Amino acid sequence: MPLRIATRKSTLALWQTEHVAARLRALDPQLQVELVPLSTRGDEVLDRSLAAIGGKGLFLKELELALERGEADIAVHSLKDVPMELEPGFELAAILEREDPADAFVSNHFEDLDALPQDAIVGTSSLRRHAQLIARRPDLVVRDLRGNVNTRLARLDAGDYDAIILAVAGLRRLGFDARIRSRLCAPDWLPAAAQGAICIEARAGDHAIIERVRALHDAATATRIRAERALNQHLGGSCQVPIAALANLAGAGLHLQGLVGHATSGRLVRAEEHGETVEPEALGRRVAQALLDAGAGELLQGVCR
């Protein structure tokens, strides 16, 4: 029987799923793979922000139902879209090596964020990006922008925005490297937890399937992301809130930077710390608590109620 992979229908999601399929075929040339493309609520409702329609789980439910019904064996996700806690009966079987986690500044007329004129219109669907934009450039007009990568680029090219912010990873995977005018990166700008990483979800206890895909697991990436997701979870990050996190291996240890922002005022609260690679979750919780001690709780209360 072929290995059936549930995936969203967007161009980027299909690229990521084909990438997983190609990696699995390279390990076993006899393996047959069948894609099961599905549409999720997050893909269908584009006239409202993710925060307004329910947050991260919107991109998973239909794929998990396909797993539950036995219509698919695994599902492939962008890990930043995966809630901190999966529904009972599912587990993350593998996390692939991470692509560049940075955000990208994309514009047809301006080189970087600082080059934008006053009152320039910038598009983003993310409260995290919105908060960091306003913190750095309070004169900008930030407008919501939903849709897949191609749709967002088309809106920019149509003149609806002076610039848009997208993930570097998605642009690179789709061959749009040339559209990246500049990278927005640490320490000044932080990405979403797990941005740039692809994961594979499976039914809990489906040992044969899990063992097959576990060969794609990248331990170094997983260590970094475990710290980032622990920070997010400690802050109640199951909601669509302006939380950013980035962990990097530093010598024999792990360095984690965290940020909580406010999309209206542009206020940012930051914290960072070094820890042990063997306890990434503990490091995530410590940095999250440092953010709360510095006032992040006040910012989150107005968003996640």
How many Å apart are CA 74 and CA 130, to the nearest integer? Answer: 33
How many Å apart are CA 237 and CA 285, to the nearest integer? Answer: 12
How many Å apart are CA 59 and CA 78, to the nearest integer? Answer: 9
- The mean pLDDT of 8-14, rounded to a whole number, is 95
Give me the percent of the chain exceeding a pLDDT of 90.
Answer: 85
**Is the separation of the CB atoms in 53 and 45 below 8 Å?**
yes
* Tens-place pLDDT, residues 226-280: 999 999 999 986 556 899 999 999 888 999 999 999 999 999 999 999 999 999 9
Extract the tokens encoding 106: 């994309």
The pLDDT of residue 150: 95
Extract the tokens encoding 132: 């960091």
**Is the separation of the CB atoms in 246 and 228 below 8 Å?**
yes
The pLDDT of residue 240: 64
- The mean pLDDT of 101-108, rounded to a whole number, is 98
* Tens-place pLDDT, residues 17-72: 999 999 999 999 999 999 999 987 554 444 444 454 445 566 799 999 999 999 99
- The mean pLDDT of 217-228, rounded to a whole number, is 98
Place of tokens 């983003």: 124
* Tens-place pLDDT, residues 79-103: 999 998 899 999 999 999 999 999 9
pTM above 0.85, yes or no: yes
* Tens-place pLDDT, residues 179-197: 999 999 999 999 999 999 9
Cis peptide before 187 (omega within 30 of 0): yes
Mean pLDDT of the chain: 92
The set of catalytic residues is: 81
Q: How many CB atoms lie within 10 A of CB 281?
A: 15
- The mean pLDDT of 196-211, rounded to a whole number, is 97
**Is the separation of the CB atoms in 25 and 33 below 8 Å?**
yes
The pLDDT of residue 53: 40
Give the closest residue to 10 by CA, choosing from 129, 106, 126, 148.
148
